[in-house]
Structure 1
Amino acid sequence: AAAAFALIGCLFSLASDAANQERRHQLQLGLGFAAPFNMEEPFIDLGRTRDAYWTFATPNGQRISGAEAIEAGYVSPTTFMPSKKSRESRYAAVAVLMPNSNLYPDYYAGDYVLDWTGDADGFMQRWPASVERRRTSNSVEFSLSRQQVKGGSLRFRNIGDGFTNFRFYRKQYKPLLDKGELWNPDFIKYVRRYDIVRTMDLQSTNNIMVRRFDQIATMSEPWGQRAAIAWPEPPFYSIPYEVLFDLGVKANVKIWMTLPPQIGSPISTADPSLRREDRKNRLNGKKFIQYASDHARETLQSPEWEIFAKEFVDRYVASGYPLTRPLYLEVGNEIWNSAAGFYVSTNYAIGIGSGVDPKWKLGHGYGVLVARYMLALEKEFARRKITPNVTYVVASHTANPWRTKQALDAIAVYLKENGVDPAPYLERTGVAVTNYYGHFNEMSASMFGVSAPAQYAPLWIAEVKKDPEGFARRIEKLLVEGPPNVKADGAWVIARWREHKAYAEKAGSHFIGAYEGGSHLLPPKELIQSKEFLDWWLAWHWSEGSADVARTINRNIVDAFPGTILANYESIGVLGPRAPWNDGHYARSTPMMDMWDEFAKPAGAE
């Protein structure tokens, strides 16, 4: 099937390669999480990607973590590192490293080093006993053959005094690590081909609970802590801005980073007073919105905004990232999306909006947060007498251009309320949406007249069985040529972009293109459960035919919006139905991965 699908796509092939045409766009890459499962493997030291929490196996066979571990005295409530008392536990587990390494055994085979400071014994559970190990008092060196490669659970036991840090890395990179280098050379080599790198997931942006700058992890703390409805709160979240600026310098790319929405809030999202009565581990959305609304003015008047601006600009100026190079600043991520991964930030913006004006909605609240950051940062830039090349991103919902209008309207009103002429500020904003394509419900409604997965799944499966290649061509044609009323086909995307662009320009802003994009073909579970469909889908989705869909949509967007930003949300990762945006791996490319390279920076370009 894979060989057959490699021939698909001739219908939509371009007259000339994207690489051979005049470059009229920028290409942006969305990075993955600072997490052990991220196969981008951005950092030399994989230990950097752990979160704050440890799990302990107690002598009586129980496992405790979080608040329980703190109460037991196993974890320091300030550093979140295991204490000497945790020696009584059977082990302290901190992360599963390289969980999908078995998919690329040749790439992951080799020598690895685990080292640490203080009294402890480190080991890797789940790795075969046959793995060669060379141990010293504060390190273990592992040699993995390709047959032995698999994910391992990193653990420590016999913990004593001074256990404050550990590292896990490929032995070949020890000289770089010892010199203070952060970045995996393979990662930097790959990232360099992009014009812009968006660090949203690397910063664990979704639902982030940072209310003060000092809650952001420092250079000496782990960088993988994401939002969690846990109490007490971990002492750090996200990743230092120093790291993000350093990436821009080392990879010679423009950085598109996020800013935490809840700066200045007097209460944590995780505070028990905001929990549901029936499910104490869940946030009560109504309570949360009401609290944010009642305290909106207090929040917006907090000195934490100016503190954040000073600390942020300190790091910006000291980083070596050129002030003339574009820097994109975005508040949160998808503050319009009500799904679980975005629920906190979206509801927070609803509360802020209604707290400023009872008639205001979600989009207005988001606009207020953007405007408040602009006031704080522009004041700090003026104090330092610098004029950096900053774009304040207004990231909107592609399907609903009126959200763009709400946000821009609120920015203008809030700035006027604060005695500022909005025009020069709006000039520095840039509206962004997505270049995602593909929506199973909408495609099914167009092809079969039904949009419920339970109804259309049997119809897809029947087509796949009857004529897999012919059906692939039908899907490709629909995605590229389908009418603009079919949500998320190429024509629909371009039509929505034009509407957002019109709102942006009318308000005195700019339309800059996409913050995320690529395939959004997420099949429902009713289809994934079918082996016939899944085999067909896995063979087709990363094939040349599917890649040519993305290629053609990208080219059509560039033709319609010269100078725009195209976005590729994530690239390196496991290929499967839950992550259609992944493209391949450093060790094994795909036609989809090669397609993005056609839109990349020419070798040696600045």
Structure 2
Amino acid sequence: MKENFLRGQLKKAVFAAALVAGALSVMSSDASERKRDYQLQLGLGFAAPFNMEEPFIDLTKTRGAGWRFGVGRQKRISATEALEAGYLDPASYMPTPKSRETSYAAVAVFMPNADRYREYYAGDYILDWKGEAYGFMQRWPKSFERRRTSNSVEYSMPAAGAKGGALRFSGVGEGFTGFRLYRKEYAARLAKGELWNPDFLNYVRRYDIIRTMDLQSTNNTAVRRYDQLAEMDEPWGQGSGPVWPEPPFYSIPYEALFNLGVTADVKMWMTLPPQLGSPIAAADPSLRRDNRKFRISGEKVRDSAAKNAAETLKSPEWEKFAKSFVDRYVASGYPLNRPLYLEVGNEIWNLAGGFYVSTRYAEGIGRGVNPEWAVGQGYGVLVARYMMALESEFARRKIRPNVTYVVASHTANPWRTKTALEGLAEYLKRNGVEPAPYLAMTGVAVTNYYGHFNEMSKAMFGVSKPAEYAPLWIAEMKKDPEAFARRLETLLAEGPQNVKANGAWVIARWREHKAFADRAGSRFIGAYEGGSHLLPPKELVRDKSFLAWWLAWHWSEGNAGVARRINRDIADAFPGVIISNYESIGTLGPDAPWNDGHYSQSTPMMDMWDEFAKTAPAK
């Protein structure tokens, strides 16, 4: 009975979506038939094996620096323990010959969603390496293996058995390094030095701007010096967090990011590490919580940043970073007249788990400059300090690149734009720099996210607590899924501007941010992220009938029509603006509503974004 009910809900939801999509298409003409008076930006996913964009030909580029070693029955050690045991080289973070004592050295699970897209992942793969070792894909049956040499193994994965594989090595000896995992059909490309998966390139080329925030593992990034960034022959999936001692490298080389801009012929939007010049790492044990030593204390990070603010801002690391960055910028072939967007950190106002270290750090920098200042002014100081270093380097080289220094703000709180620009201008003044020319090089950005369950519930039912509104949503959905879908879509696309995160509310907030930007001598450029932010609370998700309905509706023509209408209304209200699609390739789930589909399987939501693309993709 339950299965029949769920199937019925799915069918009803799809039917509802089709009905409402027709209504919304009448409200807003097709984007592809309108004048293209905006830019479309795509936010890339993480350099991580779970990222289904799979941006690199060599899949192992998405691994982190860490390894796990099998040391007993169902027991593994990693990080500090592996270093102490001598299994991991502290300079290269590669397994040592001593790791022969372990049963294996595990890298990561690659292609974990292959069973969802079997035909796409079916094919021949090569794993190769340098030096002495035995490489294998655990979880792949022996029948996949076709040919093995002392430094490589070739696999053939049939569609019927397609699944992810766990890359491991055993018998590590001298000179082990340089391992790669790639499709056999791309071997010639890899040999020529190409970096990018052709499917990935074909997808990103339809966008005007590519933002690499997640690809750079920006949130809470621990980078304090340019030489901590990974080099081209190192893995690029190393994020941040309470890792101690500090790994030898993080993130992805800037030269790779510039190469993406050149290869895909797109404008790049990169991030810059906010903790540059800090004399102490945020992961230092002295900055841990007293009662939870595995967690970084935001308050201790803030106080340390305030104490060390003068030293940090005077550090020569800013000028070293500027020189190294511009060296790679100029050498990359990325045209100096092509717009380049540079953003310090990501969401330096957010105190959620993935953001709070950077936010508290900026708060400390602000307090260190002026005891009355807070996060916004501190963030502005960091932007100003980068501007001073980079502009001096550009002047030294007698070049004038087309750089916009992004001041990214919180959509819901326009006053954060005001405080950030105040801090930026005041810090410049204190250092003898006239703010006006610098402010003219900045661009304020927010988000074009839509959807907020608490606020939608308040508008529809008069209550905003999940425990109170979840039964009401479920009852309405079961009573008439078609009508309820229509009600939601109308609220999001046409509702009044007092409903947080619907289209009208977003446009109203944008106008306020633009006013602050204009008043300060900056300019409003649009969005750094955007798309669906419909994150249902656990009280709704745990109801299987609701989850089935939500999954069927979210990628449907109905919700795609909502996004289309909001995008179009934004473009009409702010000519020339940047509209953002935060991430695209991936599976749909209640914790990832921003994903749109897969290269091999389009959805109405993907098709909607294609309507706004700079070129029509091949079908």
TM-score, reference length from structure 2? 0.96
Residue 384 in 1 paired to residue 397 in 2? yes
- For structure 1, list consecutive stretches of 5 or more residues without a partner in the other structure: none
- 1:91 equivalent in structure 2: 104
CA contact (8 A) 2:28 2:565 kept: no
| Alignment-mate amino acid for residue 395 of structure 2 | A
Equivalent of residue 544 in structure 2, options 531, 542, 548: 531
Q: CA deviation at 1:238?
A: 0.5
Q: CA deviation at 1:283?
A: 1.2
| Cα separation, 1, equivalents of 2:97 and 2:28 | 68
Residue 576 in 1 paired to residue 586 in 2? no
| Cα separation, 1, equivalents of 2:214 and 2:547 | 28
Cα RMSD (Å): 1.0
| Cα separation, 1, equivalents of 2:410 and 2:222 | 22
* Secondary structure at 1:450 match in 2: coil
Q: CA deviation at 1:558?
A: 0.6
Q: CA deviation at 1:59?
A: 4.7
Residue 474 in 1 paired to residue 487 in 2? yes
CA contact (8 A) 2:304 2:364 kept: yes
Q: CA deviation at 1:508?
A: 0.2
Q: CA deviation at 1:147?
A: 1.4
- 1:591 equivalent in structure 2: 604
Q: CA deviation at 1:165?
A: 1.7
Q: CA deviation at 1:61?
A: 5.5
| Cα separation, 2, equivalents of 1:24 and 1:498 | 18
Residues 483, 61 of structure 1: CA spacing in aligned structure 2 closer, same or farther, 3 A cutoff?
closer
- 1:231 equivalent in structure 2: 244
| Alignment-mate amino acid for residue 196 of structure 1 | I
| Alignment-mate amino acid for residue 194 of structure 1 | Y
CA contact (8 A) 1:54 1:65 kept: yes
Residue 396 in 1 paired to residue 409 in 2? yes
* Secondary structure at 1:325 match in 2: coil
Give the 5 Å matches for 1:419-498. 419-498=432-511
Q: CA deviation at 1:483?
A: 1.2
| Cα separation, 1, equivalents of 2:297 and 2:612 | 45
- 2:296 equivalent in structure 1: 283
Equivalent of residue 7 in structure 1, options 15, 19, 34: 19
CA contact (8 A) 2:145 2:153 kept: no
Q: CA deviation at 1:287?
A: 1.6
Equivalent of residue 251 in structure 1, options 259, 264, 274: 264
CA contact (8 A) 2:126 2:183 kept: yes
- 1:80 equivalent in structure 2: 93
| Alignment-mate amino acid for residue 496 of structure 2 | P
Q: CA deviation at 1:36?
A: 0.5
| Cα separation, 2, equivalents of 1:19 and 1:168 | 39
Q: CA deviation at 1:6?
A: 2.9
| Alignment-mate amino acid for residue 388 of structure 1 | P
The range that moved more, 129-138 or 89-98, is: 129-138
Q: CA deviation at 1:372?
A: 0.2
Equivalent of residue 47 in structure 1, options 51, 60, 70: 60
| Cα separation, 2, equivalents of 1:274 and 1:327 | 35
- 2:7 equivalent in structure 1: none
Q: CA deviation at 1:3?
A: 4.1
| Alignment-mate amino acid for residue 537 of structure 2 | P
CA contact (8 A) 1:134 1:142 kept: yes
| Cα separation, 1, equivalents of 2:580 and 2:298 | 32
- 2:81 equivalent in structure 1: 68
| Alignment-mate amino acid for residue 6 of structure 1 | A
Q: CA deviation at 1:176?
A: 0.2
| Cα separation, 2, equivalents of 1:100 and 1:455 | 36
| Alignment-mate amino acid for residue 20 of structure 2 | I
CA contact (8 A) 2:28 2:568 kept: no
* Secondary structure at 2:400 match in 1: coil
Residue 602 in 1 paired to residue 618 in 2? no
* Secondary structure at 1:36 match in 2: coil
| Cα separation, 2, equivalents of 1:210 and 1:576 | 31
| Alignment-mate amino acid for residue 399 of structure 2 | I
Residue 133 in 1 paired to residue 146 in 2? yes
| Cα separation, 1, equivalents of 2:299 and 2:587 | 37
The range that moved more, 365-374 or 276-285, is: 276-285
* Secondary structure at 1:588 match in 2: coil
| Alignment-mate amino acid for residue 282 of structure 1 | R
* Secondary structure at 2:166 match in 1: strand
CA contact (8 A) 2:287 2:296 kept: yes
Residue 205 in 1 paired to residue 218 in 2? yes
| Cα separation, 2, equivalents of 1:343 and 1:100 | 30
- 2:47 equivalent in structure 1: 34
The range that moved more, 132-141 or 211-220, is: 132-141
Residue 18 in 1 paired to residue 31 in 2? yes
Equivalent of residue 122 in structure 1, options 126, 130, 135: 135
Q: CA deviation at 1:126?
A: 1.3
Equivalent of residue 570 in structure 2, options 527, 538, 557: 557
- 1:541 equivalent in structure 2: 554
| Cα separation, 2, equivalents of 1:129 and 1:116 | 20
Q: CA deviation at 1:8?
A: 2.5
Q: CA deviation at 1:493?
A: 0.2
| Cα separation, 2, equivalents of 1:70 and 1:228 | 18
Residues 61, 534 of structure 1: CA spacing in aligned structure 2 closer, same or farther, 3 A cutoff?
closer
Q: Deviations over 1:459-498 (max 9, x none)?
A: 1111111000100000000001111111100000000000
Q: CA deviation at 1:285?
A: 2.0
CA contact (8 A) 1:59 1:88 kept: no
The range that moved more, 372-381 or 280-289, is: 280-289
- 2:120 equivalent in structure 1: 107
Q: CA deviation at 1:602?
A: 2.7
CA contact (8 A) 2:14 2:553 kept: no
Q: Deviations over 1:29-48 (max 9, x none)?
A: 00001110110010000011
| Alignment-mate amino acid for residue 10 of structure 1 | G
Q: CA deviation at 1:275?
A: 1.2
* Secondary structure at 1:8 match in 2: helix
Q: CA deviation at 1:148?
A: 1.1
Q: CA deviation at 1:15?
A: 5.2
| Cα separation, 2, equivalents of 1:391 and 1:542 | 34
- 2:528 equivalent in structure 1: 515
Give the 5 Å matches for 1:124-163. 124-163=137-176
* Secondary structure at 2:161 match in 1: coil
CA contact (8 A) 2:127 2:182 kept: yes
- 1:350 equivalent in structure 2: 363
Q: Deviations over 1:406-459 (max 9, x none)?
A: 000111100010001000000000000000000000000110111111111111
| Cα separation, 1, equivalents of 2:74 and 2:486 | 56
Give the 5 Å matches for 1:233-382. 233-382=246-395
Q: CA deviation at 1:290?
A: 0.7
CA contact (8 A) 1:131 1:148 kept: no
| Alignment-mate amino acid for residue 397 of structure 2 | R
| Alignment-mate amino acid for residue 563 of structure 2 | A
* Secondary structure at 2:337 match in 1: coil
Q: CA deviation at 1:277?
A: 2.0
| Alignment-mate amino acid for residue 227 of structure 2 | D
| Cα separation, 1, equivalents of 2:45 and 2:467 | 32
| Cα separation, 1, equivalents of 2:49 and 2:439 | 39
**Fraction of identical pairs, as percent:** 72
* Secondary structure at 2:143 match in 1: coil
Residue 505 in 1 paired to residue 480 in 2? no
| Cα separation, 2, equivalents of 1:280 and 1:35 | 26
Q: CA deviation at 1:231?
A: 1.1
| Cα separation, 2, equivalents of 1:603 and 1:3 | 26
* Secondary structure at 1:393 match in 2: strand
| Cα separation, 2, equivalents of 1:61 and 1:353 | 48
| Cα separation, 2, equivalents of 1:341 and 1:133 | 42
- 1:218 equivalent in structure 2: 231
The range that moved more, 241-250 or 57-66, is: 57-66
| Cα separation, 1, equivalents of 2:409 and 2:298 | 22
| Cα separation, 2, equivalents of 1:74 and 1:228 | 22
| Alignment-mate amino acid for residue 9 of structure 1 | A
Q: Deviations over 1:333-353 (max 9, x none)?
A: 000000000011000001000
| Alignment-mate amino acid for residue 573 of structure 1 | G
